Chain A
Amino acid sequence: MSGTAAERLSRLLALVPWLSNNSGVSITEAADHFGVSADVLERDLWLVVCCGLPGHGPDQLIDIQFWDDDERINVIDPQTLERPLRLTMPEATALLVGLRILAQVPGAHDRGALASATAKLEAAAGTALDASEAVFVVASTPEAIRLAVDEALARGRVLRLVYAGATRDAITERDVDPRGVVHQDGFDYLDAWCRLAGAQRTFRLDRVVSASVLPDPAVAPADLAPAHATPSVGMPVRLAYRESAAWVVDALDLEDVERHPTGGGRATLRVADRAWLVRLVLGQGGRISVVAPEDLRQEVAVAARRAHERYAESP
């Protein structure tokens, strides 16, 4: 196995400079260095020699010889990849800030390598360092939660979460098989198979009340889609709002906003959880209502009627 495409790309980018500095190594030695089999490394080399600079003629391709009987690898023409990487000040600053953010994102990434890369960049960045220190990277995930998630991902263990969900106004305890962490819009989200829901779920880590690593091995289904931190493709719901509820335009990520002279209007909200929307509308006393889809409009009406009847039953 050569791992994921991202792992392979990372290895390929590191391969040519390393081989340039270690010309004459054997395929087995190079494979050991990168932690892959000799077959995988040989496939990488066949791919690398098909890469090069624009033009892609014979003179622009990376030239590495590795097919002789002695299995030695000799870099003939690395096509600039042997040169040290040069960053502009803005690039170095952006990279430093990115590294600092990544260091705070939970996950099984190599924190030693992150710290080392950060230190080297800080040392090399010169005046760019001043700019990067002017940017404060604030962690959204509490340290104890981050450590538990790190451990569960690194050891492949089940996590027990006590989670304060935003959509159902309830605290639940659930065991999840963690798959990874995605960072979006300033928040970290755990992508996991939730054993309570029996489905893939994302958990915003600043809403995790506590997390503990269980001894059970994590076994998430292999065919799950990559997680998306926010539901960019939720069900579109057309809402009507009165002037007294015009705050929704700023508070929620609304689309197709149609403002009326009265101060109210209509807008579309993409909703991942119907129950959340029903609760939102129930709490607004008619200031926000569902226009479409009709079945959701009826769902709100039924919920309001049942609640109303409860008062009629118990005056």
Chain B
Amino acid sequence: MAEAEPTAIAEVEVDSGGTRLRLRAESIVSGVLRIPYADEAQLVSDVAELGASARVIAPSDVRDRVVESLSAVLQAHEGSP
């Protein structure tokens, strides 16, 4: 299946790792990657899996979805399994 054409750009600060994101970035300035994307859910997953090594700066809705995603992981691992 062909990958959809990017429809938006996210700015993601990445400290270390994140090769997949770096390969997709159209530019990297002072550790901030400008990443064209079409699939927001995939971008959220790719950023979240980097843990504290990555942070979405913009857009705010992607940033909010990453925070929600991390909250869900935290909730799933607190208390009894």
Is the beta-carbon distance between A304 and B77 smaller than 8 angstroms?
Answer: yes
Query: Which of A170, A284, A285, A298 neighbours the largest number of chain B CB atoms within 10 Å of its CB?
Result: A285
Is the beta-carbon distance between B78 and A278 smaller than 8 angstroms?
Answer: no
Cβ of A303 under 8 Å from chain B: yes
| Contact partners of B52 in chain A: CB under 8 A | 303, 306-307, 309-310
Looking at the complex, which of B3-11, B29-37, B60-68 is the stretch in contact with chain A? B60-68
Is the beta-carbon distance between B67 and A308 smaller than 8 angstroms?
Answer: yes
The interface of chain B, by Cβ under 8 A from chain A, is 16-20, 44-46, 48-52, 54-55, 63, 66-78, 81
Q: Which residue of A lies closest to B49 (CB)?
A: A283
Is the beta-carbon distance between A307 and B44 smaller than 8 angstroms?
Answer: no
Is the beta-carbon distance between A304 and B51 smaller than 8 angstroms?
Answer: yes
| Contact partners of A282 in chain B: CB under 8 A | 48-51, 70, 73
Is the beta-carbon distance between B17 and A311 smaller than 8 angstroms?
Answer: no
30 A-B interface contacts by CB (under 8 A): A169-B17, A169-B20, A169-B50, A170-B19, A171-B19, A240-B81, A280-B49, A282-B50, A282-B51, A283-B48, A285-B44, A285-B70, A286-B72, A286-B73, A286-B76, A289-B76, A290-B81, A291-B81, A292-B81, A297-B81, A300-B73, A301-B73, A301-B74, A306-B51, A307-B48, A307-B50, A307-B54, A307-B70, A308-B71, A310-B52
The distance from the CB of B55 to the nearest CB of chain A, in whole angstroms, is 5
Q: Which residue of B lies closest to A311 (CB)?
A: B67
Q: Which of B16, B17, B18, B70 contacts A304 (CB 8 A)?
A: B70
Is the beta-carbon distance between A305 and B74 smaller than 8 angstroms?
Answer: yes
Cβ of A155 under 8 Å from chain B: no
Q: Which residue of B lies closest to A298 (CB)?
A: B77
Instruction: Take A170-B17, A240-B81 as given contacts and tell me if A311 and B55 are in contact as well, using a CB distance cutoff of 8 Å.
Output: yes
The distance from the CB of B33 to the nearest CB of chain A, in whole angstroms, is 14
Instruction: Take A164-B19, A292-B81, A297-B81 as given contacts and tell me if A304 and B73 are in contact as well, using a CB distance cutoff of 8 Å.
Output: yes
Query: Which of B17, B51, B75 neighbours the largest number of chain A CB atoms within 10 Å of its CB?
Result: B51
Question: How many angstroms from the CA of A170 to the CA of B18 in the assembled complex?
Answer: 7
Cβ of A281 under 8 Å from chain B: yes
Is the beta-carbon distance between B76 and A307 smaller than 8 angstroms?
Answer: no
| Contact partners of A292 in chain B: CB under 8 A | 81
Question: How many angstroms from the CA of A286 to the CA of B44 in the assembled complex?
Answer: 13
Question: How many angstroms from the CA of A311 to the CA of B55 in the assembled complex?
Answer: 7
Is the beta-carbon distance between A285 and B68 smaller than 8 angstroms?
Answer: yes
| Contact partners of B54 in chain A: CB under 8 A | 307
Q: Which residue of A lies closest to B69 (CB)?
A: A285
Question: How many angstroms from the CA of A292 to the CA of B77 in the assembled complex?
Answer: 10
Is the beta-carbon distance between B78 and A301 smaller than 8 angstroms?
Answer: yes
Instruction: Take A311-B55, A311-B66 as given contacts and tell me if A285 and B48 are in contact as well, using a CB distance cutoff of 8 Å.
Output: yes
Question: How many angstroms from the CA of A164 to the CA of B17 in the assembled complex?
Answer: 11
The distance from the CB of B78 to the nearest CB of chain A, in whole angstroms, is 6
Q: Which residue of B lies closest to A266 (CB)?
A: B81
The distance from the CB of B49 to the nearest CB of chain A, in whole angstroms, is 3
Closest 7 CB pairs of A and B: A283-B49, A286-B72, A285-B69, A301-B77, A289-B76, A306-B52, A286-B76
Question: How many angstroms from the CA of A280 to the CA of B75 in the assembled complex?
Answer: 16
Cβ of A259 under 8 Å from chain B: no
| Contact partners of A109 in chain B: CB under 8 A | none
